[in-house]
Amino acid sequence: MDDDRQSRADAVDGEMAARGLPEEVVAALVHWWSENAGRYPDATPGAHTVHYTPARWAEITPWPAALASRSSAGDAEISRALVASAVADALGREAYTEALVATYVWGKGKSGTPAGSGPTTLKNILAADDLENVLAKAVAALREDDARRAYEVLLLPSNGLGPSFFTKFLYFAGQAVPTGQGPQPLVLDQVLARRMRGLAAQVGKDTGYDPDGSVAAWVWSDGGWSPHRYEVYLSFLQAAARQLSKVGGWPPDAGADLLECALFTTRWTTPG
């Protein structure tokens, strides 16, 4: 049963790669760019900013110097560009957990219920004895091999740092460390997986490989994606970015991370 399901998943993946982004998604992305070009004048998602409350993270160490002081009252802003700078600085000093903190705070922002869940979870993650070594191995794998191998390194330990957050670490590490081969790492979280699920479900329905969407729901679940699934995701977004580069109304030199940012905030209506 699993072999049949996997073969159908592979068939849907292949058809998605051949088709690329459907017209309605391209239209939605072009519309997104028309409304957001002013926010991203360099056609990168560096200005993508979230708010966080520094005081909530008072018990977290090490704390990146680039982030706001935790004695500050109220909220602060943290952008992708700021995180990229903080991560590059930390990796240059081999301060891997410090780099992780910067990416985690950006990824969590002000979200989380109850209010202390983000800092509490991170504190528990940082308490893992081998975390620094695991993060170092992931960065080395990224430099010497590829994003999939780095993903595998971070997926194995049971330290509470799931793919939705460690792919953020990989994404920003990839800004500082050239990947040995293959595409640069990108963020994959629940929202983006659901975007991919919608695309896969439509292709599965159109082709008959997955008429009820159950295969799409299996491979693009809300978490726990396999290294193979992450590799499929990176390949698809890279190809989709090339597809968009030829479309009027989308910045021709934009990378796959701008597409990832757009997909995170864009919705579309699928015919039927």
pLDDT-above-90 percentage for the chain: 86
Q: Cα(46)–Cα(175) distance, rounded to whole angstroms?
A: 11
Listed in sequence order, the residues at least 6 apart from 95 whose beta carbon sits closer than 8 Å to its beta carbon are 62
Report the pLDDT value the prediction gives residue 203, as an integer from 0 to 100: 97
User: What does the CA dihedral 203, 257, 66, 96 come to, rounded to 10 degrees?
Assistant: 70
Listed in sequence order, the residues at least 6 apart from 213 whose beta carbon sits closer than 8 Å to its beta carbon are 197, 201, 204, 205
The answer to whether residue 4 scores a pLDDT higher than 60 is: yes
Q: Cα(267)–Cα(240) distance, rounded to whole angstroms?
A: 16
> Residue 161 — pLDDT band, cuts 50, 70, 90?
confident
Report the pLDDT value the prediction gives residue 113, as an integer from 0 to 100: 46
Report the pLDDT value the prediction gives residue 145, as an integer from 0 to 100: 96
Listed in sequence order, the residues at least 6 apart from 138 whose beta carbon sits closer than 8 Å to its beta carbon are 150, 153, 154, 166, 169, 170, 173
> Residue 116 — pLDDT band, cuts 50, 70, 90?
low
32-59 pLDDT, tens per residue?
999 999 999 999 999 999 999 999 999 9
- The closest alpha carbon to 182, from 137, 135, 230, belongs to 230
187-202 pLDDT, tens per residue?
999 999 999 999 999 9
- Are residues 83 and 102 in contact, defined by beta-carbon separation less than 8 angstroms? yes
Report, as an integer, the average pLDDT of 21-37. 96
Q: Which two tokens stand for residue 44?
A: 């990168």
223-232 pLDDT, tens per residue?
999 999 999 9
- The closest alpha carbon to 35, from 250, 209, 255, belongs to 250
